[in-house]
A and B are shown apart, each in its own frame.
Chain A
């Protein structure tokens, strides 16, 4: 069983739509990270969460420690948001989800 499960695996949206990507994990963690992997392969850290909610521009990340669940939301999605979004949990090492491939169509 994967320790970090993401859903959906693939997501296609129209420009302007509100996007939600979910992450569930089964291990104890000190923090959860949301990462963005661009089509060229580069990885950018979006958020690090240990509780509550964080917002950066059109991106919002929430975490519920008791339920071992986190969500990444994108408001007013844009084609440039198209990327793979990866959830990773920090438990001395980092365990990664398989990623959610988001395609935003104009």
Chain B
């Protein structure tokens, strides 16, 4: 069964460093999403991406964040100059037609 794959499963980074979280969506899907979940809190929407551009983004998704689909298969989330409060589980999801979304297993980012 097709699945969304995220790498790495756990990333530890020093405060101020840049991180890139990688996602491989399901191959024929057209809509891509990033979400985050700070430990003990609810899931929050970050950004949606369609037709090679951002379609929606939340207030959280400021200039520190960027997304890219560099090669037609990967969908990446870059976080520049990481802060302690960026520590969270980051989930990627993809959807064929904005109905059912398929989630990856998440990347746990720890900023120290």
Stretch of A13-21, A59-67, A74-82, A89-97 at the chain-chain interface: A89-97
Cβ B58 vs Cβ A93 within 8 A: yes
The interface on chain A, measured as residues whose beta carbon lies within 8 A of the other chain's beta carbons, has a size of: 21
How far is B33's CA from A45's CA once the two chains are assembled, in angstroms? 14
A67 to chain B, nearest CB (A): 23
Cβ A98 vs Cβ B42 within 8 A: yes
Q: How many A-B residue pairs have CB under 8 A?
A: 49
The 8 closest A-B pairs by CB, nearest first: A43-B103, A96-B43, A93-B45, A98-B42, A93-B56, A42-B105, A94-B45, A96-B42
What residues on B are CB-neighbors of A96 within 8 Å? 35, 42-45
Could you name 28 residue pairs across A and B whose Cβ atoms are closer than 8 Å?
Answer: A31-B99, A33-B101, A35-B103, A40-B105, A41-B89, A41-B106, A41-B108, A42-B105, A42-B106, A43-B103, A43-B106, A45-B101, A45-B102, A45-B103, A48-B100, A48-B101, A86-B43, A88-B43, A92-B48, A92-B55, A92-B56, A93-B57, A93-B58, A95-B45, A96-B35, A96-B42, A96-B43, A96-B45
